[in-house]
């Protein structure tokens, strides 16, 4: 799962594909979400293809990993946080309002 929405960062970089890379629940303390935002869905596809063994030329410099912006977010504590709940929470943020599930 991921979200698709054009978002312009404070530094002017425009990203349009956003996925949760990690969720951490510190019991009775806090939740942390690590969000990766890619320039496009194509960047994420390169990572998926690499994981499947499709690319063998990365070490020789013939292909490079895609750019992504990583940010840690801290929703209110929820001891039953799930990936689905985390994506729903993201869609409550102004920058992800109206985002499409992909």
Domain count, the chain: 1
Query: What pLDDT shows up at residue 83?
Result: 97
What confidence tens digit (pLDDT) does each residue in 33-92 have?
999 999 999 989 888 888 888 876 666 666 778 899 999 999 999 999 999 999 999 999
Range of the domain at 25: 3-101
Total-model pTM:
0.87
Q: Which residue has the tokens 């977010």?
A: 73
Query: What pLDDT shows up at residue 61?
Result: 60
What confidence tens digit (pLDDT) does each residue in 5-31 have?
999 998 999 999 999 999 999 999 999
Query: What pLDDT shows up at residue 77?
Result: 97
């Amino acid at each position: 799962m991921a979200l698709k929405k054009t978002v312009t960062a404070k530094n002017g970089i425009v990203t349009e594909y956003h996925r949760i890379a990690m969720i951490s629940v510190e019991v009775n303390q806090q939740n942390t979400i690590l969000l990766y935002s890619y320039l496009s869905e194509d960047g994420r596809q390169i990572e998926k293809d690499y994981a499947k063994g499709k690319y063998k030329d990365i070490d020789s410099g013939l292909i490079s990993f895609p750019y992504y912006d990583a940010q840690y977010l801290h929703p209110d504590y929820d001891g039953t946080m799930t990936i689905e709940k985390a994506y729903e929470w993201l869609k409550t943020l102004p920058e992800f309002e109206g985002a499409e599930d992909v």
